[in-house]
Amino acid sequence: VPGSVTSMMQTGITQAREFDDPAGLHEKTEFLLREWVNMYHSPQAGRDSFKAFNAFVQQMHTQGILKTDDLITRFFRLCTEMCVDLCYRALSEAGQSQTMIRAKCFHTLDAFVRLIALLVKHSGDTNTVTKINLLNKVLGIMAGVLLQDHEVRFAEFQQLPYHRIFIMLFIELNAPEPILEAINFEVLTAFCFSHVFHILRPAKAPGFAYAWLELISHRVFIGRLLALTPNQRGWGFYAQLLVDLFKILAPFLRNADMTKPVQLLYKGTLRVLLVLLHDFPEFLCDYHYAFCDVIPPNCIQMRNLILSAFPRTMRLPDPFTVNLVVEHLPDINKAPRILTNIVSLIQPASFKKDLDSYLKSRAPITFLSELKSNLQANPQGSRYDIPLINALVLYVGTQAIPLLQTKGVSMSTIAPSSHMDIFENLAVNLDTEGRYLFLTAIANQLRYPNSHTHYFSCALLYLFRQANDQTIQELITRVLLERLIVNRPHPWGLLITFIELIKNQNFKFWDHEFVRCAPEIEKLFENVARSCYPQKQ
């Protein structure tokens, strides 16, 4: 579609690599940019530089810049390059203080940002499409110049000019003004989803990662996307950006290979999650599945931050209450919102078909014996397809819950059933790694009081009780315990499940050898147990 936003941005990116400028354009642009910087800083500029802008547009006309779209695009590209060059020169000057260098850069960058904001605001009169097209084009040019600069300079790449331009432009375009409010959603779209911030995600421009993290965690940005945009229309955009962030960290976290730079990025990520957990817990609730799918299984605390989120209107009963009857909680039959299409993740289609027919008819038995190899198929790093295990576990659970509506979900009602057949088969037939991933997928559903938490809590306890092999019980204990020995927060459902396991005599928890396998483990269990019976101390 000509004129669509993505194509505008793509044109911008491509045009950032064109260098066959007409003769004299470079000089004209340089002259105009210098003029504008002076006008912007002069006391006569008027409120929001408006007077200066009117005079400047005249100059642009006189110089013939506004004649064609192509010339305007080139003008922006050249301006961006000039601003960037100026920053590189300033940053390389020896003997200057940080403050002086910064002031020098900001002097030009801020003027340029204001020029862009004014041009976007006043282009095409009341025609919002013109404004948005211009913005997308300009952002595309910036992204193009950045990617090129990043590639060419490699280790010498500087984040500063781009960081400053993006955040200042974002703030300018989110000012409380009617013209801007009319296009606000399109502005947000241009900045985040599949657009400029996503194009510049850390995997694509790792040298820009720290500035990028600052951009997406800026209070104005989070506020706009998660709080001020009606009907949660900004949530999906923001979730995509967080997934981009988790993805670059994943291989390094998984390998526990934490160089200083990775540690810093990780620390920043935890801070963003803490802010979100405190201010927008519903956001973390809704997207927990998508996030846990890309966070490596060994990142316990990072996942706990996400899984501990619960809706602000909910009051969680204290998990340590004596005789707490989970079945009687008002929210326990309500399904949580999952904003990921789980069904589409169960691939290939033939496997999904076999799965559904097994769930329906509990046959053929070969489905179970082939299950392991179906999950092993694919990729690098693990012998298992982790996203497929996650999707399978949640899908089977959500299929089971409605069928139990009349009887109620409990350890005595969830089996026998085709659903528990699958879970029991996985627990028995997978090797240690596969079981660990399977149990992790279950534990990811142990959150605030809801139907999934309840079902998977029962399922996990059922698997523990039915196990005829201590190694399964040891592994279940491990998956629960390793999520509880890290620092808070701890998900409510996880605590409930663990307390039930060690308190309820039916599980004979304390009779197991692995509880006493080593003095420090024994001590650990005693400590945890003590915190589970606070009233007795």
Q: By the criterion CB under 8 A, which residues form the site for another protein?
A: 91, 98-99, 102-103, 106-107, 110, 150, 154-160, 163-164, 167-168, 202-203, 206-211, 214-215, 218, 248, 251-252, 254-257, 259-262, 264-265, 296-298, 380-382, 433
Q: How far is the CB of 299 from another protein (least distance, A)?
A: 10
Is-contact 446 493, C-beta < 8 A? yes
CB of 373 to another protein, least distance (A): 20
Quote the least distance from Cβ 72 to another protein, whole Å: 27
Q: How far is the CB of 165 from another protein (least distance, A)?
A: 10
**What is the C-alpha to C-alpha distance for residues 167 and 222, in angstroms, rounded to an integer?**
12
| Shorter beta-carbon distance to another protein: residue 221 or 423 | 221
Angle 367-368-374 (CA atoms, 0-180°, nearest 5)? 75
Query: Token digits for 147?
Result: 């990617």
Structural Rg of the chain based on CA atoms: 28
CA distance 115 to 49: 9
Question: Coil, helix or strand for 121?
Answer: helix
From the CB of 101, what's the least distance to another protein, in Å? Answer: 10
Which residue from 506, 507, 505 is spatially nearest to 480, judged by alpha carbons? 507
Q: Is 115 helix (H, G, I), strand (E, B) or coil?
A: helix
Spell out a b/e string for 382-418, using b for 16 or more CB atoms within 10 Å of the CB, else e.
Answer: bebbbbbbbbbbbbbbbbbbeebeeeebebeebbebb
Nearer to another protein, 122 or 204 (CB): 204
Cβ 403 to another protein, closest distance in Å? Answer: 34
**1 CB-contact burial (10 Å; exposed 0-12 / middle 13-18 / buried 19+):** exposed
Number of neighbouring beta carbons within 10 Å of residue 537: 6
Output 9 or 165, the one with its CB closest to another protein.
165
Tell me which amino acid residue 133 is: N
Tell me how crowded residue 114 is: count the other CB atoms within 10 A of its CB.
21
Residue 48 CB, nearest approach to another protein (Å): 12
Min separation Cβ 110 and another protein, Å? 6
- Asked whether the beta carbons of 463 and 414 are under 8 A apart, the reply is no
Minimum CB distance to another protein, residue 10 (Å): 22
Nearer Cβ to another protein, position 114 or 452? Answer: 114
22 or 261: CB nearest another protein: 261
Nearer to another protein, 60 or 388 (CB): 388
CB of 129 to another protein, least distance (A): 30
Residue nearer to another protein on the CB measure, 109 or 495: 109
> Of 259 and 344, which has the nearer Cβ to another protein?
259
Please choose, from the candidates 191, 330, 222, 204, the residue with its C-alpha nearest in 3D space to the C-alpha of residue 284.
Answer: 222
Q: 113 or 415, CB closer to another protein?
A: 113
Q: Which amino acid is at 444?
A: N
Q: Which is nearer to another protein, 156 or 318 (CB)?
A: 156
Of 479, 463, 470, the C-alpha closest to 511 is: 470
3-state secondary structure 245-291: HHHHHHHHHHCCCCCHHHHHHHHHHHHHHHHHHHHCHHHHHHHHHHH
Please state, in angstroms and rounded to a whole number, the distance separating the CA atoms of residues 206 and 212: 9
Shortest spacing between CB 379 and another protein, in angstroms: 10
Nearest to 235 by CA among 341, 336, 339: 339
- Whichever of 382 and 413 has its CB closer to another protein, that residue is 382
